[in-house]
Amino acid sequence: MDALMTGSVPLNLPADSWREKRGLSTLEVCFTRLPSINGRSLWELRLKEVHVVPEKWRQILTPRQFEAAALVVQGLADKEIADKLGITEDTAKDHVQSAYKRLKVSGRAGLIALALRS
């Protein structure tokens, strides 16, 4: 914040924001400079955690299905999901297929579209 207040950090991102990917979510910080009071710079910070997949899926899917579905939404293939979760590719495929059934979608495109709509 000190660097922001002195103006030594240019905020040239859209809407003066910063994003950091953290696991299955992204932390978004938006900075807004407010009018100075008594010569002091004031800032409004808005923090928002953006989830890759809707949290309500945790109530529908098993923990492993949720992890697999989240990785599908991030664009990973079954082999990559297996490597990331430390399971076989066949097991990864089973988790992904089970997630499709429980979420009532027919495939990867449907799962991604559902995540974006939710």
Q: What is the pLDDT of residues 65-115, one digit of tens each?
A: 999 999 999 889 999 999 999 999 999 999 999 999 999 999 999 999 998
- Two tokens, residue 61: 């899917």
Q: Count of residues for the chain?
A: 118
Q: Kindly report whether the global pTM for this prediction surpasses the value 0.85.
A: no
The answer to whether residues 33 and 74 belong to one domain is no
The answer to whether residues 40 and 62 belong to one domain is no
The answer to whether residues 69 and 33 belong to one domain is no
- Tell me which residue has tokens 């429980």: 102
CB neighbours of residue 72 within 10 Å: 24
CB 39 within 8 A of CB 56: no
The answer to whether residues 113 and 64 belong to one domain is yes
**The domain boundary residue, chosen from 51, 76, 92:** 51
What pLDDT digit, counting tens, does each position of 19-74 carry? 887 666 677 888 888 899 999 989 888 887 766 788 899 999 999 999 999 999 98
CB 57 within 8 A of CB 84: no
- Please give the Cα distance from 96 to 117 (Å, whole number): 19
The answer to whether residues 67 and 93 belong to one domain is yes
List the Cα angle 58/59/63 in 5-degree steps: 40
The answer to whether residues 75 and 106 belong to one domain is yes
Q: Domain of 23?
A: 2-51
Report DSSP state, residue 15. Answer: G
32, 47, 95 from 66: Cα distances, Å:
35, 25, 8
